């Protein structure tokens, strides 16, 4: 069973940008916490690290 956890940067139940993360074998799963039965992204560890770095640098329009 996959154990998902809400990002510490999510603002609460009414936050429009809530994500959950889970360890998946060699990488990380990312999903919308408002749609836990919906699709999720499977990212390798390196790709996930790159995504986090780009978010921190403000390179993405979130």
Contact yes or no for 48/28 (Cβ under 8 A):
yes
Residue 61 has pLDDT above 70, yes or no: yes
Burial of 4-43, coded b for 16+ CB within 10 Å and e otherwise, reads beeeeeeeeeeeeebbbbbebeebbbbbebeeeeeebeeb
Query: Which pLDDT value is given to residue 62?
Result: 72
The tens digit of pLDDT for each residue in 5-52 reads: 987 766 666 666 788 999 998 899 999 988 989 999 999 999 999 999
- What pTM, to 2 d.p., does this model score? 0.76
């Amino acid at each position: 069973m996959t154990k998902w956890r809400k990002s510490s940067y999510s603002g609460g139940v009414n936050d429009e940008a809530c994500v959950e993360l889970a360890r998946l074998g060699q990488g990380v799963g990312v999903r919308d916490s408002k749609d836990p039965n919906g699709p999720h992204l499977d990212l390798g560890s390196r790709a996930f690290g790159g995504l986090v770095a780009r978010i921190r640098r403000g390179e993405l329009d979130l």
